[in-house]
Structure 1
Amino acid sequence: MATKKTKSTVATITGGATALAATWVAHKAVGTAWKAILGHEPPDAEDEGDARFVEVAVAAVITGAVVALVRVLATRGTAKFANRVDEGRLSVRG
C-alpha cells in the first residue's frame, strides 16, 4: 500500500497566508489599474451608483481572472517551497 504524503503544518500555514496576501495584492492592483485607466474606482456589488451592467461585468471578469491566476501561482510557489522544506533542503527555524 502506498503511503500518502501529507503537507506539513508550516506548508499549510504558509500556503494559506500566501494565497490570502496574493489575492489582496491582485485585487488592489486591478483597482489601481482600473482607476488609472478609467479615472474612477471599479464598481462593487454593494455600490448603488449609476455603474452600467457592462462595466460591472467587465470589472468582475478582470478581477476574478487576475485573482484566480495569482492564487494559482502563489499556491504553486508555496507548494515548491513546502516540498523543499519537507525534503530537508531548506531549514525552517521556529
Structure 2
Amino acid sequence: MKTEEKPDIAWRVIGGLVGLGTAWAAKKVLGIAWVKITGKEPPIDTDSDEVGMAEAIGYAVLMGVGMQVAQIVVNKTAKKRYLAWKALKTPTR
C-alpha cells in the first residue's frame, strides 16, 4: 500500500492563503457575472419568498461550479509553481 507524503508546513500555509484569496475573488467575480447576466443583484437569502426557485437554483449552480473550478485551477497552478520554486531551492547532490 502506497502512503502519500504529508505536505510541508510552508505549502499548508500557502495553500490555505491561496484558498482564502481564491474564494473571495471568485465570489466577487461570480457576483459581477450574475449582475451582468440577470440584471439583478445576487440573492442574499435564497430562502426568501422574494427569490424564485429557478433564481435560487441558478445562483447555487453558478456559485458552486464557479467556486470549485476556480479552486481547482488556482490550487493546481499554485502547487505547480511552489514545487518548481522548491526544486530550485533544494540543492542537488
TM-score where L is the length of structure 1: 0.78
Distance 2:24 2:78 in 1: 16
Please, what TM-score do these two structures have when normalized by structure 2?
0.78
State whether residues 34 and 42 of structure 1, in contact with CA within 8 Å, keep that contact through their aligned partners in structure 2.
yes
Cα displacement (A) at 1:71: 0.4
Overall identity of the aligned pairs, in %:
24
Q: Which 5+ residue runs of structure 2 have no aligned equivalent? A: none
Aligned positions of 1:78-89 closer than 5 A: 78-87=78-87, 89=88
Q: CA 1:86–1:7 in 2, change beyond 3 Å: closer, same or farther? A: farther
Distance 1:43 1:3, change over 3 A: closer
CA distance in structure 2 between the aligned counterparts of 1:3 and 1:37, rounded to whole angstroms: 46
Gap regions ≥5 residues in structure 1: none
Match of 2:34, as an amino acid? W
Per the TM alignment, residue 43 of structure 1 is displaced from its structure 2 partner at its CA by: 1.2
Classify the secondary structure of the residue corresponding to 2:41: coil
The one-character-per-residue Cα deviations of 1:52-82 (angstroms, maximum 9, x if unpaired) are 0110000000111010001011111122123
Counterparts in 2 of 1:55 and 1:46: CA distance versus 1, 3 Å? closer
Contact 1:42 1:59 in 2 (8 A): yes
Give RMSD over aligned pairs.
2.3
Aligned to 2:53: 53
